[in-house]
Structures are given as C-alpha cells and as structure tokens.
C-alpha cells in the first residue's frame, strides 16, 4: 500500500451501507457493521480489512462516512438526475420508499471539507467519523425546497421495489437502488455529533446546497 510505504495518513471516504438497517435509529460511529445486502457486505469487508491493517500498525488511517450524496456533477444517486434533473425539466421526481421520513443527504462540498479536516488534524487518526452536512429533513421537505428553487411544484412518482427490479434488468442504477430500498422505508439519519464535538463544523445550509445544485443542473440543460 502506497500510504504505508510513504508513512502517510490514509484518509478514506465511505458510505453507510455497511451498517445495514437500523430500525430507524440514528447511525452513530459505534454501530456494528451488520449489512444485509451484497453492496453493504462488500463495504463492511473493505472497512474490516482497512481497520485490521491499521490495528497491525501497517498504515495510519482516518475514515470519513457520509450518507446519500448530492451536488454539482452528482447524477447517479438517489438525488441525482431522477430528482434534480427531472425537477429542472418540469418532470416528476422518481423516488423510492416513503418521502415523509427523515433522511440525511450529504452535500459533496461539505464532504470534501470534512475529509480535508481529517487529513490535517492528528485527532482524526485511527477514527471513524460521520461527516457533517446540511440539516436533516424529510425528503418531502427537501423536495419542497427544490420546488421553491425551480419555481414550480415538484411531484413524486414513487417507484416500487418490484418496478425497480424489473427496470434493473436494463438500468444499473435501478438495480443497485432496489437492494438499498430499506434506506427509504425507515428514518435514515446520520449522527455527526462526534465530528462536530471534536472539530466543530460549518456545513452548508440545505437551501443553499439545493440552490447551487439546481444551478449546475440548469447549465447541463442549456448545454444540450
């Protein structure tokens, strides 16, 4: 491993698939990696391998974790083209699960800022850290902010798991979302208290993050 050879700190970004369903409890860094999906089990195995190398003294690590990504340039995510792109195009947003539930979405610039802190503060070494981001609200509340920004109502076309599995035959994103549907069938809240208590945080307000994301999607629409 290059980081080990250079005696450098290895800062990695992970999603939260490794935790698996939590029954709606907020996700904290001390949760066991109890994934029930193939994607989640792969993520958990990768994390275990990395931590084992760190425990053996082979490499210094700091792990940052974030929830569903969104932002400029992020198209293949639960808030990507099928939500922001559709909203800008006056189409209904494709969504799975229950939009009335709390759900943490992580904004890409905030993720980058959080990782930079982990890479430059010795207190981060050896730890797992949930990276702060915009405030957690329901997906319906988030879509209301999207609607206010685009200037027209944004409806929801709910895509069921059976439909996703069928679409997954020809669409890789739908295939991958189908097994992760549990994230949208219970509250999905990322607790970032540990990071904020240790390092402080000034994440982007949700309305500003949405405004910047929609501005990017509009540039893509005008370029077509």
Whether residue 1 is contained in a domain is answered as no
Whether residue 193 is contained in a domain is answered as yes
Domain tally, the chain: 1
Could you read off the pLDDT tens digit of each residue along the chain, which spans 224 residues?
555 555 689 999 999 999 999 999 999 999 999 999 989 999 999 999 999 999 999 999 999 999 999 999 999 898 999 999 999 999 999 888 899 999 999 999 999 999 999 999 999 999 999 999 999 999 999 999 999 999 999 999 887 666 666 655 566 666 667 788 899 999 999 999 999 999 999 999 999 999 999 999 999 876 66
Q: At what angle do helices 172-179 and 38-55 cross, to 10 degrees?
A: 70
Tell me how far the alpha carbon of residue 192 is from its chain's centroid: 13
Contact 164, 181 (CB under 8 A): yes
Whether residue 224 is contained in a domain is answered as no
Torsion of CA 216, 219, 221, 224, to 10 degrees: -130
CATH number at residue 206: 3.40.50.720
Task: Output the six-digit token pair for 1.
Answer: 């491993």
Whether residue 113 is contained in a domain is answered as yes
CA distance readout (Å), 216 to 37, 92, 180: 33, 19, 27
Whether residue 65 is contained in a domain is answered as yes
Whether residue 67 is contained in a domain is answered as yes
Task: Output the six-digit token pair for 45.
Answer: 């195995």
Q: For residue 188, what is the DSSP state?
A: B
* Rounded Cα gap, residues 180 and 206, in angstroms: 24
> What pLDDT score does 181 carry?
86
Whether residue 21 is contained in a domain is answered as yes
Q: Which range marks the domain in which residue 206 is found?
A: 7-218
Residues written for the chain: 224
Whether residue 2 is contained in a domain is answered as no
């Amino acid at each position: 491993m290059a980081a080990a050879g250079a005696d450098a700190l290895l800062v990695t970004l992970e999603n939260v698939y490794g935790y698996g369903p939590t029954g709606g409890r907020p996700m904290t860094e001390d949760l066991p990696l109890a994934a029930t999906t193939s994607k989640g089990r792969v993520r958990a195995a990768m994390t275990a391998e990395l931590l084992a190398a760190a425990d053996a003294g082979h490499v210094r690590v700091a792990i940052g974790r974030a929830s569903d990504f969104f932002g400029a340039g992020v198209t293949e995510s639960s808030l990507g083209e099928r939500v922001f792109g559709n909203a800008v195009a006056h189409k209904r947003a494709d969504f799975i699960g229950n939009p009335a539930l709390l759900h943490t979405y992580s904004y890409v610039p905030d993720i980058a800022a959080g990782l930079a802190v982990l890479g430059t503060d010795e207190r981060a070494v050896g730890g797992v850290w949930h990276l702060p981001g915009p405030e957690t609200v329901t997906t319906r509340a988030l879509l209301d902010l999207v609607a206010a920004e685009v200037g027209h109502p944004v409806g929801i076309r709910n895509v069921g798991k059976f439909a996703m599995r069928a679409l997954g035959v020809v669409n890789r994103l739908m295939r991958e979302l189908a097994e992760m549907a549990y994230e949208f069938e219970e509250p999905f809240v990322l607790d970032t208290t540990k990071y904020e208590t240790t390092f402080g945080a000034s994440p982007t307000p949700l309305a500003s993050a949405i405004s910047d994301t929609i501005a990017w999607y509009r540039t893509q629409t005008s370029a077509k």
